Homo-oligomer: A and B are copies of this chain.
Amino acid sequence: MVTLAEVARHAGVSASTVSYVISGKRAISAGTRERVRRSIRELGYHPHAGARALAGSRSHIIALMVPLRTELYVPVMMEIAVTVARAARTHGYDVLLLTGEEEPDAVRRVVGSNLAEAMIVMDVALDDRRLELLRSVDRPSVLVGIPADAAGLTCVDLDFYATGAVCVEHLAGLGHREIAVVGEAAAVYERRTGFAERTLAGIRERAGQLGVRMLHRPCEGGYEGVSAVLSRILDERPGTTGLVVQNEAAVEPLLAVLRQRGRAVPEDVSVVAVCPEEVATQGSVRLTSVAVPAQELGRQAVEALMARLAGRPAGEVLLLPPSLTVRDSSGPAPAAGV
């Protein structure tokens, strides 16, 4: 293995000089710097990560905690994870993948062992059991998602409250007066996932303000679930002309079931989805939707974490504004009574 000392010898300088050339922490004459850089290149030198972490007490690693229960919004999570890794690299950091289940122990372990300098936590519940620990461990962290009590925590998320509101505004603007929300699976609400509740709150509130009637029903993905939920909705509120869907796994079944029942989209019923762009654009109908900006979330999470590592205090909450794209699934409300 090529060591710093070997590089130093090869370049005819001291070890500390090589170290400083690499870190840039003190002025080095142009000549020396070049000589050292050449030696590094020629010898194919890579600083020993462990030694670096030991001497400098910085591992250049951040931990990424991915959710316990996958299956749901997997593609979004994957995209965030990959983006985080990419973005971290641009700051000289590598990413350690922690899976949900080990949970509190995993945090203690990577922190206690100085393996990770900081961490990004995905899939945060409103009353997440990890919060206390995160607040206590004296290592910067950034949550993707917003818990009920975000005091002392740095968070990044799509503004789901505004997202809900925007969906209602769009439908109301098209003349819809009765809408229904085909929600996430019941389990998602049970574990008090912030984004689901916030979206719903945004919808409910704006609906109230705009005089739009609204009904919410949780919904499992898959055809049977969607079919059942849609039946209930149309039974209770036959006048429903606008649908908001958040559950990715319900989007395609929903369209199929509507088709099957002879309900034309968007002539009879308009659909607005909250989902990744691919789902909105690659389905059987190009959906009017608010995109979940996975990449932007990943990037912002890393930026926020780097700021924390650089000394910026915790507590910031960054909400990305939603952006609704009109496509083919929404249109004017059908004339009443028709």
Please tell me which one of the listed residues B47, B79, B282 contacts residue A249 in the complex, with CB atoms under 8 A apart.
B282
Interface size on A, residues (CB 8 A): 55
Report the Cα distance A47→B78, complex, angstroms. Answer: 31
Evaluate contact between A101 and B75: CB separation under 8 angstroms: no
Q: How many copies does the complex hold?
A: 2
Report the Cα distance A86→B106, complex, angstroms. Answer: 11
Report the Cα distance A47→B50, complex, angstroms. Answer: 13
Cβ of A222 within 8 Å of any chain B Cβ, yes or no, is: yes
Chain B: CB-nearest residue to A284: B223
Report the Cα distance A52→B114, complex, angstroms. Answer: 11
Cβ of A96 within 8 Å of any chain B Cβ, yes or no, is: yes
Evaluate contact between B98 and A85: CB separation under 8 angstroms: yes
Cβ of A64 within 8 Å of any chain B Cβ, yes or no, is: yes
Q: List 21 A-B contacts (CB under 8 A).
A: A46-B108, A47-B113, A48-B114, A50-B50, A50-B54, A50-B59, A52-B113, A70-B78, A70-B79, A70-B82, A75-B78, A81-B97, A85-B98, A86-B99, A86-B101, A94-B97, A94-B98, A94-B110, A96-B96, A223-B282, A223-B284
The 4 A-B pairs at the shortest CB distance, nearest first, are namely A50-B53, A46-B112, A50-B54, A49-B115
Residues of A whose CB lies within 8 Å of any CB of B are: 1-2, 44-54, 59, 61, 64, 66, 70-71, 74-75, 77-79, 81-82, 85-86, 89, 94-99, 101-102, 108-110, 112-115, 221-223, 249, 252-253, 256, 278, 282-284
